[in-house]
Amino acid sequence: MKKLISVILFLCSVSTANGYADELLTQKCTFTLPEFTTFGGKSISDVKVGWESYGTLNKDKSNVILVTHFFSGTSHAAGKYRTTDSSSGYWDSIIGPEKAIDTDKFFVVSVDTLVNLHPYSPNVITTGPATINPKTGKPYGLSFPVVTIRDFVNVQKALLESLGIKKLYAVIGASMGSMQAAEWASVYPDWVPRMISVIGTTQSNAWTTAALESWAIPIRLDPNWHKGNYYGLEKQPVDGLKASLMLISMQARHPKGVIAMGDKLGYQPVEPEPLEHITQSHSIVNEFAEMAAKRATYADANHLLYLVRASQLFITGHGDSLESGLQKIQAKTLFISAQTDLLLYPALAESAHSYLRDKGHNSAYKELTGPLGHLEGVLDIQEQAAAIEAFLAD
Amino acid sequence: MKKLISVILFLCSVSTANGYADELLTQKCTFTLPEFTTFGGKSISDVKVGWESYGTLNKDKSNVILVTHFFSGTSHAAGKYRTTDSSSGYWDSIIGPEKAIDTDKFFVVSVDTLVNLHPYSPNVITTGPATINPKTGKPYGLSFPVVTIRDFVNVQKALLESLGIKKLYAVIGASMGSMQAAEWASVYPDWVPRMISVIGTTQSNAWTTAALESWAIPIRLDPNWHKGNYYGLEKQPVDGLKASLMLISMQARHPKGVIAMGDKLGYQPVEPEPLEHITQSHSIVNEFAEMAAKRATYADANHLLYLVRASQLFITGHGDSLESGLQKIQAKTLFISAQTDLLLYPALAESAHSYLRDKGHNSAYKELTGPLGHLEGVLDIQEQAAAIEAFLAD
Handedness of CA A288, A289, A294, A300 (dihedral sign): positive
Q: Determine which one of A249, A341, A353, A363 is catalytic.
A: A341
Q: Per-residue pLDDT averaged across B56-78, rounded? A: 98
State which residue of chain A sits closest to B322, comparing Cα positions.
Answer: A269
Angle between the N-to-C axes of helices B238-251 and B283-295, in degrees from 0 to 180, rounded to the nearest 10: 120
State which residue of chain B sits closest to A307, comparing Cα positions.
Answer: B278
Ramachandran angles phi, psi of A332, nearest 5°: -65, 135
Q: Determine which one of B102, B341, B353, B363 is catalytic.
A: B341
* Predicted local distance difference test score (pLDDT) of residue A4: 39
| Gap between the Cα atoms of A196 and A194, Å rounded | 7
- ipTM value of the model? 0.93
* Predicted local distance difference test score (pLDDT) of residue A265: 97
Alpha carbon B304 to its chain's center: 12
A256 has pLDDT over 70: yes
Alpha carbon of B305: minimum distance to chain A alpha carbons (Å): 8
| Gap between the Cα atoms of A85 and A75, Å rounded | 16
pLDDT category at A16 given cuts 50, 70, 90 is very low
Is the pTM of the predicted complex or chain greater than 0.90?
Answer: yes
pLDDT category at B130 given cuts 50, 70, 90 is very high
* Predicted local distance difference test score (pLDDT) of residue A270: 97
Q: Decide if A217 and B315 are in contact by the 8 Å CB cutoff.
A: no
* Predicted local distance difference test score (pLDDT) of residue B23: 83
Alpha carbon of A323: minimum distance to chain B alpha carbons (Å): 13
> Which burial class, exposed, middle or buried, applies to A150 when counting CB atoms under 10 A from its CB (0-12, 13-18, 19+)?
buried
pLDDT category at B12 given cuts 50, 70, 90 is low
Q: Determine which one of A13, A53, A121, A175 is catalytic.
A: A175
Is A21 at the interface with chain B, CB within 8 A?
Answer: no
pLDDT in tens, A101-125: 999 999 999 999 999 999 999 999 9
State which residue of chain B sits closest to A260, comparing Cα positions.
Answer: B206
**Best interface-test mutation with A: which of B114, B244, B278 has the largest number of A CBs within 10 A?**
B278
Q: Is B86 a catalytic residue?
A: no
Is B111 at the interface with chain A, CB within 8 A?
Answer: no
Percent of chain B scoring above 70 in pLDDT: 94
pLDDT in tens, B200-217: 999 999 999 999 999 999
Is B148 at the interface with chain A, CB within 8 A?
Answer: yes
Whose CA is closest to B159, among B100, B222, B220, B112?
B112
Of A206, A271, A342, the CB nearest to B262: A206
Alpha carbon of B240: minimum distance to chain A alpha carbons (Å): 7
Q: Determine which one of B13, B72, B88, B175 is catalytic.
A: B175
- The gap between the terminal CA atoms of chain B, to the nearest Å, is 39
B22 has pLDDT over 70: no
pLDDT category at B270 given cuts 50, 70, 90 is very high
* Predicted local distance difference test score (pLDDT) of residue A22: 65
Q: Decide if B274 and A40 are in contact by the 8 Å CB cutoff.
A: no
A1 has pLDDT over 70: no
Which residues from A are below 8 Å from B282, CB to CB? Answer: 209, 213, 312
Q: Per-residue pLDDT averaged across B107-129, rounded? A: 98
pLDDT category at A261 given cuts 50, 70, 90 is very high
* Predicted local distance difference test score (pLDDT) of residue A233: 98
> How many CB contacts within 8 angstroms connect chain A with chain B?
182
Is B345 at the interface with chain A, CB within 8 A?
Answer: yes
Q: Decide if B247 and A309 are in contact by the 8 Å CB cutoff.
A: no
Of B210, B259, B274, the CB nearest to A258: B210
Q: Is B175 a catalytic residue?
A: yes
pLDDT in tens, B271-328: 999 999 999 999 999 999 999 999 999 999 999 999 999 999 999 999 999 999 999 9
Please list, in sequence order, all residues whose beta carbon lies within 8 angstroms of the beta carbon of residue A12, skipping any fewer than 6 positions away: A27, A29, A30
pLDDT category at B1 given cuts 50, 70, 90 is very low
pLDDT in tens, B328-360: 999 999 999 999 999 999 999 999 999 999 999
B19 has pLDDT over 50: no
Which residues from B are below 8 Å from A146, CB to CB? Answer: 274-278
Is A273 at the interface with chain B, CB within 8 A?
Answer: no
B165 has pLDDT over 50: yes
Checking A288-296 for CB contacts under 8 A at 24+ apart, the result is A288/A246, A288/A249, A288/A250, A288/B210, A288/B213, A289/A242, A289/A246, A291/A245, A291/A246, A291/A249, A292/A242, A292/A243, A292/A245, A292/A246, A292/A249, A293/A242, A295/A72, A295/A245, A295/A249, A296/A238, A296/A241, A296/A242, A296/A245
* Predicted local distance difference test score (pLDDT) of residue B389: 98
pLDDT in tens, A25-80: 999 999 999 999 999 999 999 999 999 999 999 999 999 999 999 999 999 999 99
Of B203, B221, B261, the CB nearest to A221: B221
